[in-house]
Amino acid sequence: MSRKSSRRFGGLLFLLLVIGAGYWAWQHYAGFAYRPMPGIAAGSSVIVKPGDSLPAVLRKLRAAGVEPGDSLQWRLLARQLQAAGRLQVGEYPLDTNTTPRELLIAMRDGKVIQRRFTIVEGWNIRELRAALSRAKPLEQETAQLDDAALMEALGHPGQHPEGRFLPETYLYTAGDSDLDVLRRAHDAMDKALASAWKQRHEDSVLKTPDEMLTLASIVEKETGIAAERPQIAGLFERRLKLGMKLETDPTVIYGMGSGYGGNIRKADLRTDTPYNTYVRAGLPPTPIAMPGVDALQAVANPAPGDALFFVAVGDGSGRHLFARTYAEHQANVGRYLKNYRARQGASAATTEKQ
């Protein structure tokens, strides 16, 4: 072989070696980028906090038992995906098929886990705060705050917290706090109340949005049947216009606080508290629960009519009987007692058979 041919052969061999090495490196790199990371527990996640770098995230993965692979390959992959220095704060899901490429894209694009917290219509502030304390991984910032300090932290010093948070489902991510959720719920209630106040009927007896919120909270607690809310709202408005006492049990129960044991006694109805609407005329001093949008709209546009009394049907449906006069109301109370006793008897008979 001539020297010229030898040089050509050597050059070709070198080129083939370079191509082979490049192919091997690419295969190795692709295998890393597209291969599921070993050691991931099903349903787990990784949290990126403010200031976390890629090495910090890799340390968190290793601490959780995941084998993420070589740090250099992660840096190269992050550059290729334009994720270097762009990891977004939040919680990211991991499953047994998660690859480095998928995780970096998710962290680059902020595809975080979104969790849900629902404020239930009719909850009071104690129930709302208790539910928030159980929501994970929501950061707890209000545990040591009383209600007054809570409202101050939300930017509403001196405002009573009852009724001020709109029942709805709110999304949150890792790093959010209970204050963040409450702030959104407070803003949502402000908007819903302002909207209802603008839509109120012309001859409304209510003087302020706060009075509307209070009456809506009573309507919310009186019935879970949407079709009845405008009827009950109209009935209470008529009572207020006539100067009649509202005589609504939910306000009495609220005024009893932790002293309520599940039943209202005659003595409870006679005990004077700011929330006993059997003793005091007008609205109670604050809302008694968190009213939903439907209750607000019912108070804004109550149904017309002449009913002044109502009582539960007593058949377990949650429906009510409405009456114009006290005599009609007494007859309806009799129907309620008959239906209630029939249900109690049927329940006792079923228990005996079991």
What is the reported pLDDT for 27?
Answer: 45
What is the reported pLDDT for 350?
Answer: 56
CA–CA dist 68, 140 (Å, integer): 31
CA–CA dist 310, 299 (Å, integer): 17
Q: Is 251 within 8 Å of 284 (Cβ atoms)?
A: yes
Q: Over range 20-27, report the average pLDDT.
A: 44
What is the reported pLDDT for 42?
Answer: 85
pLDDT in tens, 266-292: 999 999 999 999 999 999 999 999 999
The answer to whether residue 4 scores a pLDDT higher than 70 is no
Q: Over range 181-197, report the average pLDDT.
A: 98
The amino acid at residue 232 is I
344 compared with 163, residue with greater pLDDT: 163
> Cα(first)–Cα(last) distance of the chain, in Å?
103
Instruction: Tell me if residue 73 falls in helix, strand or coil.
Output: helix
Class of residue 45 by CB neighbours under 10 A (exposed 0-12, middle 13-18, buried 19+): middle
pLDDT in tens, 78-100: 999 999 899 999 999 999 999 99
CA–CA dist 104, 106 (Å, integer): 5
Percent of residues, the chain, with pLDDT higher than 90:
75
Q: How much is the pTM?
A: 0.82
pLDDT in tens, 33-65: 999 999 999 889 999 988 999 999 999 999 999
Distances (CA, A) of 82 to 29, 87, 109, 115, 327: 17, 10, 10, 28, 78
CA–CA dist 302, 350 (Å, integer): 41
Q: Over range 143-165, report the average pLDDT.
A: 97
